[in-house]
Structures are given as C-alpha cells and as structure tokens.
Structure 1
Amino acid sequence: METTTTEPGASRLPAAEAGRKARPVRAGARGGRLRGLVTIALFLLPGLVLFCLLVVAPILVAFYTSTFKWSGLGGPPTEFVGLDNFTRLFANEVFLGDLWHGAVLIALSVVVQLPLALGIALLLNQRLRGRAFYRLVFFAPYILSEAITAVLFTMILSPDQGLANQILGFFGLDGLEWFADQSTVLIALFLVMTWKYFGFHVIIYLAGRQGIPKELTEAAQIDGASGWKVFRFVTLPLLGPTIRISVFLSVIGAIQLFDLVWIITEGGPTHSSETMAVTMFEFGFNRFQVGYASAISVVMFLISLVFALAYQRFVLRRDLEGATTVMRDQR
C-alpha cells in the first residue's frame, strides 16, 4: 500500500490556482515600483528644470551665438560667421597668453598650494592646544568673498604704503611692484589665491585624515615604522581619493578664475595676468563683441569638460568603481 507525503508548509493548491494567487503579488510589486519612480521624478523635476534653465540653456545659447558676429544689442544675431570667431581666437596672442597663465596657475596650485594644505592638515590633526582655533584661522579666508580678499591684498601689496613692502624695508630690502610688474604679477596673484583657497583644501584633507582608522597607523608604529614611513605607506595612500578630488577642484577653479584677477589687476599690466574669463568679460561687456566672447566661453567649457571626463576616466576610475560597488551591495 503506497502512501503519499507532503512536505510541511507545501501548498496543496493546483498549479493553475497557485499561479492565479501569485499574480496580484507581482502586479502589486510593479505598482509599488511605479509609484516609487513617480515619486523620484516629482522630487527631481524642480531641480532638473532649474538645471536646464540655468546650465543647459546658457550653454546652448553660447554655442549658438559663438557662430555669429553680434554686439548683444539690437535684437537677435543675424550675421552668421561660422567658425570665424574661433579662428580669430586661436590666432590671438592675448588668448594664447591666457592659456599659458592658466597653465602656470594650475601648476603652482598643484605643486605648492595643495602640498602646503596637506601639511597644515596633518599638523592640525595632532593633539595641539588651541587646535580648534587654528582650524578656524586657516579656514576663515575661504569664507571671505573674492571682492573683500582682492581689496584687502590690493592694500597689503600696494607699492607705496603696503604692509608687504614695509616688511621688506624693515629687513633692508627694496619694495616690489607686486601687481604692476609683469615679472611678479602672476606670483602675487598666486599668493592671493593660496591665502584665499588653501583653507578649503585643509578642511578636505583634515576630514580625510580623520577618516583613516587609528588602528592602521598604530599597527604600523608597533611594527617599527617611522613617522615618515607611516605617512608614506599608510596615510598618503588612504588619502588618495581625497587628494584626487582636491586636485580636480583646484584645476577647475584655476581654469575659471575671474573675480580676484578682475578686481586686482583687470588683467594688466599689458595682459600679463589676464585669464580666459577676464578676456571673455572684456570682449563681452566692454567691447560688445558678444559673439567673440561666446566663443571664449565655449572654449572654456570644452576645456573643463574634456579635463573632467579624462580625469574621471583615468584618475578617479578606481574611486568611482568602489562607490558603485558599495551602492550595489547596499541595494
């Protein structure tokens, strides 16, 4: 006599009836997923509209007007010149000088400003009396506006009664024409940039350093590693993602530099401190050559875009892959 057994909890419903029971569950899941997508879309819509109006639309308008000879007055552009504005641009020695000035400021920022910020961040991470006060002092310049910073250093580096030349005179040295001499103006501007922005990078590095577990550095010290070796083989590699982001922000900021240069020197003397943004402003708002200024803005945008994409592809690839993996695991 044969007997049949059923596993505990096994369904005794026919297959067709079980399928009919399961369908509402799948439909409900699809409905919940759809409601989630609608909710996400509603939350994203205001930001997306603002992004299109304030970012995408100006970019498209700049591309369009860069192909016209237009003063910006008297209605929409009508004199189509194609790529003539770009041809003029790359034949202009002033614009080529702008590219060189930007490259110099980028190199100085990466080689001088960022290592200085990293060193100060490591010092502020130590147990120091008044550490919070020091952090405030180093970060304070960053919260000042560019206009205030520019006016302040115009007075400090004034060739007549400026504090910098008075200090040089106290040590028996001759004063400098900081912003009026072609040989010193870029260095002087870089000093202002460093004072203004390095506090931001200090805070970034400090946050990254505090995110490194103490157990790792303590284990290296127990193994006999010196302070330099702990920094070289433990701290610096783990700060890699933070340093890469800091370099990216510094380069993009140097490409788009405008406020400090315009207020302090207006690009002088004789274009020796001019940047692409300053040249764009000069042609667009002072000479009313909006089509030509739009071509400059397009070149600035393309340089920034190409750098951002290449940097993301070749430098930030490991960091982005790690973030993507974490997000997938959390889902």
Structure 2
Amino acid sequence: MEMTRPRSRGRLRGFTTVLLFLLPALVLFLLLVVAPIAVAMYTSFFKWNGLRGLPTDFLGLDNYTRAFSDPVFLGDLWHGGVLIVLSLLVQLPMSLGLALLLNQRLRGRAFYRLLFFAPYVLSEAITAVLFTMILSPDEGLANQILESIGLGGLEWFAEPSTVLLSIFVVMTWKYFGFHMILYLAGRQGIPEELIEAAKIDGAAGWKVFRHVTLPLLGPTIRISVFLSVIGAIQLFDLVWIITDGGPSHASETMAVTMFQFGFKRFQVGYASAISVVIFLISLVFALLYQRYVMRRDLEGATTVLRDKR
C-alpha cells in the first residue's frame, strides 16, 4: 500500500502538469475552431441575415436542399473537381520532376531551389494582383509575348472557356514550389546506398526511379496529394481577387459562393450550410484518405514509437 500511494500521487501530478500545459491550447482550439463550427452548423438550419440577434426562422434541411439543387453550387463542385484532377495530373508530377532534377549535382542548384520556392512565400493577394497584371487582356506581359510571335492575345480571365485553366496556372505557379520542397526533402531522406545498390544490380535510371525512388517517396507523395486536394476544395483567395467567381460563375468555387451569400447578400443561414458542406467534404475525404491511403504510413509511425518505448 505504501508503494502504491507514491506511484498514484506521481501519476496524478504528471497528469495535472500535462493538463496545465495543454489547457491554453485546448481553450484556443475550442474557441477558434470548435465553437465556429458549432455555430455554423446551428445557423445552417435557419433563415438568418446575421444582423438581428439569434436566428429564429427554422428551415430544417431547406438550405442544404437548396444548395444541391442550385446550378451555381453544383458548378462549384465541378470546378473543384477539375482543379483537383489538374493538380494531381500536372502540378504534382511537375513538382516531383523538378525535385528530382534539383537533387542532382547542378551548378547553382541552391539558387534554383530558392527561386522555385519563392512564389509560395508570397501571399495569395500579391500573387493574384501580379497575375491580374501579367494576364491582362490589354497590356499584359503574356499577351504581349503571344502577339510578338504572331499568335494573338487571349482573354485569360474574361472567357468562360479559359478562366478556370488560367486560375489553375496561377495556382500551379503559387504552390508547385511547396510540393517541390516536400519531394526534395523526401528524396534526400532516401539512403544513397539503396540507389547505388540498384545501379550495381544493373538497373537503369528509369528502373531505379520506378522500383526504388518512387516507392520510397510514397509517404511524401501521399501527404502532398492530401494537401493538394484539401487546398483545392477550400480555394478562395486567388479566385476572389482575380475574377470574383466570374465570368458567369465560370471560375466560382464553394468558398467564393459561401462568401457571396454570407457577406454580400446577407443570407448567412444559406452561407453557413455551404460552409458545413465544405467542412464535411474535407472531413470525409481526410478520414477516408487516412483510412485507406495513409494507413500504412500511420501504422509505421505507431510501430516506430512502440519500438522506441
């Protein structure tokens, strides 16, 4: 009994210490994350302009049925899907290729790494304003280059057929450096002995990449894909500043539609329903992705922690 009491007191003191250290973070998390989500879920069931007290006009699921019957919102889902597919097929492979290239012994590779990563450091607002000038239909640099070689200018952000691709170009310029750094860090974590052993066994460059480099980069690629998809689902800043969702909703995303209804039309209940849909899509994707795609990575991390213990 005498040995049990000191141990129980020690555990209680340890638990109290941990709780005291975690308490400020938990309070901030509850106030800044959980509380806004709860308020959005509550107001999504009401008709409310966000100005006069608490909402009282209960609508049930009408805001959600309105969203999924609205052609604009359904278009937002389509636009998000297109941006996700383009990111996975174009942006991420390009970032991976550049990472592998800059992992080689090249003169000035540190400068190139800094140069390619620099756009990610810029804010979304600066990036949007910059490309608004570059892709301007009148005196933009892109149209001047096209006209100098006889191809003629384009209405980059003014035509429904080109605006989404133009937004993707801006997204790629802004974020490809971030993914490149991720892949570069993952590549540098691969022991060179494995690469050399594969070459000694007769594997050529492509076979080394396919059977050694790519599988060992799997955890990094899966994290990169996860971040890219979540970012495309929640895309707002670039679209809002460049096109405001236009022309004719051709570049509008779910976040832009939510902002339009919440802060310009004062239909806060409907905007809250859209925000809840964005949250649920992100949450479901995150849970399924971690369950079925990143399962081995998470289990591996757990195994390493248990082995260290």
What TM-score range do you get, normalising by the shorter chain?
over 0.9
- Matched ranges for 1:63-74 at <5 A: 63-74=41-52
TM-superposition CA deviations, 1:63-94 (whole Å, max 9, x none): 00000000011211111111111111111000
- Provide the alpha-carbon RMSD of the alignment: 0.8
CA drift of 1:34 comes to 2.2
- Matched ranges for 1:297-312 at <5 A: 297-312=275-290
2:247 aligned residue: 269
2:31 aligned with 1:83, yes or no? no
TM-superposition CA deviations, 1:197-236 (whole Å, max 9, x none): 0100001000000000010001001111101111000000
- Matched ranges for 1:179-258 at <5 A: 179-258=157-236
- Matched ranges for 1:24-173 at <5 A: 24-173=2-151
Partner Cα distance (1:271, 1:177) in 2: 16
Structure 1 residue runs of 4+, over 4 Å off? none
CA drift of 1:30 comes to 2.7
Partner Cα distance (1:89, 1:39) in 2: 47
- What's the secondary structure of 1:233's corresponding residue? helix
Residue type at the aligned position of 1:59: I
CA drift of 1:27 comes to 3.0
1:295 aligned residue: 273
TM-superposition CA deviations, 1:82-124 (whole Å, max 9, x none): 1111111111000000000000000000110000000000011
Unmatched 5+ residue regions in structure 1? Answer: 1-22
- What's the secondary structure of 1:224's corresponding residue? coil
Task: Count residues with an aligned counterpart.
Answer: 309
TM-superposition CA deviations, 1:151-200 (whole Å, max 9, x none): 00000000011000111111110110000000000000000000000100
CA drift of 1:26 comes to 3.6
CA drift of 1:245 comes to 0.3
CA drift of 1:33 comes to 2.3
Residue type at the aligned position of 1:244: R
Given candidates 273, 277, 284, the residue that maps to 2:262 is 284
Partner Cα distance (1:229, 1:38) in 2: 55
TM-score, length of structure 2 as denominator length: 0.99
CA drift of 1:138 comes to 0.5
CA drift of 1:39 comes to 1.4
CA drift of 1:31 comes to 2.4
CA drift of 1:271 comes to 0.1
Partner Cα distance (1:329, 1:33) in 2: 23
- What's the secondary structure of 2:47's corresponding residue? coil
Identity of aligned residues (%): 79
Partner Cα distance (2:176, 2:272) in 1: 31
- What's the secondary structure of 1:97's corresponding residue? helix
TM-score, length of structure 1 as denominator length: 0.92
Partner Cα distance (2:62, 2:184) in 1: 48
CA drift of 1:40 comes to 1.3
Residue type at the aligned position of 2:106: L
1:7 aligned residue: none
